[in-house]
Amino acid sequence: MKYDFRVRSDEICTEEGERITVYGVDVISEGAAVKTLKDVFCNRNDAEAFVRFCFYIAHPPEERKTPPADAVDKLGCCSAPFI
């Protein structure tokens, strides 16, 4: 089964009542989300780097676009731990 990974965004309300955008990942198979990770990152760039990392480890070498070290390096200081 082949999987694709996409950044998702959601709005949440903080304890102070402020609405903020948070990011997660949808795992897609055959056009449908089979797994959703919500509210994992506060920064879209971190979420995109994580998606690149997931793509790298889930696909055969000929389909890989970015080495995992590059994807992890781009995260810098993660806004949330890896799941």
Percent pLDDT > 70 in the chain is 67
pLDDT at 12 over 70: yes
HSE-CB of 82 using CA atoms within 13 angstroms: 11
- Kindly state the helix (H) or strand (E) to which residue 80 belongs, with its residue range: none
* Confidence (pTM): 0.66
pLDDT tens string 32-55: 989 998 988 999 999 999 898 887
Taking 90 as the threshold, does the pLDDT of residue 23 lie above it? yes
For the chain, what percent of residues have pLDDT higher than 90? 35
Instruction: Tell me what the pLDDT averaged over the chain comes to.
Output: 78
